[in-house]
Amino acid sequence: MSKSESWETTSTSFHFGAGCIDARDDWAKPAPQKTGSARTPGKCFVVTDANVGPHYAKPVCGKLEKSGYEVTTETLPPGEETKNPQTIIDLTEKFAKAGLGRDDLVIGLGGGVVTDIAGFAAAVYMRGIAWRAIPTSLLGQVDAAIGGKTGVDLRAGKNLFGAFHQPEKVIIDPSVLKTLPGRHFCSGLVEVIKYGFIHDPGILDLLRPAGTKMAEDPGLLPESTIKDCALFKSRLVEKDERDTGAREILNYGHTIGHALEAAAGYRDLLHGEALVFGMLGAAMIGAHMGTCGEEIPDFTKKLFAELPVRRDLPTLSQERIMEHIYSDKKKRGGELRFVLPIEVGKVTIKTVDRKTVEEIVERILAEY
């Protein structure tokens, strides 16, 4: 096992390290009460999916049972299609059947879909019970499981039905990425790249020498990079839990990216695959509006050509994409706010008119 590390924010304890799920017991123990006194373990409901459960449900449940929890497990079908309101209704009914009370615990064991679902179900059941995230995808470890944004998709758009509900613990074990399919690893890699564009250009310098080899050997991605991304987001969320200020820069590429996912019916594009074109679109809008020069979209295209990311789109309707863009959560007063680049590692937030967005979307669809 690599060195295990921990850090705290005002709402969440983070445990990080390859092998920490097996090697550490503290993540599975009850969190202390606000008074500081020990909490008695009660019932715990583990939510996973059919891809992750066979690998990790047994050791995770074993740790929880060793800590004194009475554990129930629910295995969901994998994939974005499961992220819908009916899943939340069905899951909370199962919480009730299992006898979960206000002092009990939900665990999300899986990728971003699973942690989004488990966190949202915990948020609405009995008006909110505690939950913990054990992300098993790269996307989950650097982004989706951190920050308390939980929710599911509506036909109108991605993540429109949800709540802010912070996990009390997040357990990030990079060793579990060895069972992650290559396509999903590459999808998560795009979120890592995002941090290079909004925060630390050194991340991009670190990734480029490995190039497309990372698709076959995820171990080429340093564990320290995963930790740095998780730590950066957790500190940003601590400053702006409700996504109304500093945290907004994390949405770089997501306005167009989410619309592409929705227009594809959440089937043909993974989140990171759509985000490739979302970040390219943001760079193109930035150059059009003068927040950056043409060198930024040119650099973005070149970077994605060097790394193992998707570089083609399925056939999509521009009209449908625009509909989803304008149902986006990031609108303010009916106007679209985009995170736009100034330079690599520095971004700004601007209102963008519909005509400009339509022109950029049209260019992306024509080129890819």
The DSSP result for 301-336, as a single string, is HHHHHHTT---------HHHHHHHHTT-TT-BTTBE
pLDDT digits (tens, 9 = 90+) for 132-187: 999 999 999 999 999 999 999 998 889 999 999 999 999 999 999 999 999 999 99
Same domain, 236 and 146: no
Inter-residue contact 314 to 335 (CB < 8 Å)? no
Give the span between the Cα atoms of 249 and 239, in whole angstroms: 13
Residue 290 zone, left/alpha/beta (φ > 0; ψ -120 to 50; rest): left
Same domain, 302 and 201: yes
Inter-residue contact 83 to 116 (CB < 8 Å)? yes
SS3 content of the chain, % helix, strand, coil (to 5): 50, 20, 30
CATH code, domain with 57: 3.40.50.1970
Give the span between the Cα atoms of 192 and 228, in whole angstroms: 10
Give the span between the Cα atoms of 83 and 78, in whole angstroms: 9
| Model confidence at 36: pLDDT above 90 | no
pLDDT of residue 38: 67
CA dihedral 314→77→276→274, nearest 10 degrees, is 50
Same domain, 126 and 240: no
Using pLDDT thresholds of 50, 70 and 90, give the confidence band for residue 3. confident
Same domain, 167 and 194: no
Per the model's pLDDT, the better-predicted residue between 4 and 230 turns out to be 230
Pairing of strands 130-135, 70-76: unpaired
Same domain, 186 and 153: no
pLDDT of residue 329: 67
Q: State how many domains the chain has.
A: 2
Percent of all residues in the chain with a pLDDT value above 70, rounded to a whole number:
97
pLDDT of residue 32: 82
Q: Which of the listed residues 162, 179, 196 is the one where a domain comes to its end?
A: 179
Same domain, 211 and 284: yes
pLDDT of residue 291: 98
Inter-residue contact 100 to 43 (CB < 8 Å)? yes
Q: Which of the listed residues 130, 156, 179 is the one where a domain comes to its end?
A: 179
Same domain, 154 and 249: no
DSSP state of 28: G
Same domain, 356 and 221: yes
| Model confidence at 253: pLDDT above 70 | yes
Q: Spell out the residues 6+ positions from residue 357 whose beta carbon is closer than 8 angstroms to its own.
A: 256, 285, 322, 325, 336
Give the span between the Cα atoms of 81 and 176, in whole angstroms: 23
CATH code, domain with 341: 1.20.1090.10
| Model confidence at 334: pLDDT above 80 | no
Q: Which domain holds residue 158?
A: 5-179
Q: What are the C-alpha distances in Å from 358 to residues 199, 255, 256, 259?
A: 28, 13, 11, 12
Q: Which of the listed residues 123, 157, 179 is the one where a domain comes to its end?
A: 179
What is the amino acid identity at position 280?
L
pLDDT of residue 35: 64
Same domain, 104 and 227: no
Give the span between the Cα atoms of 232 and 235, in whole angstroms: 5
Same domain, 199 and 174: no
Inter-residue contact 44 to 64 (CB < 8 Å)? yes
Q: Spell out the residues 6+ positions from residue 358 whose beta carbon is closer than 8 angstroms to its own.
A: 318, 322
Same domain, 175 and 313: no
Same domain, 251 and 359: yes
Give the span between the Cα atoms of 323 and 316, in whole angstroms: 12
pLDDT digits (tens, 9 = 90+) for 73-115: 999 999 999 999 999 999 999 999 999 999 999 999 999 999 9
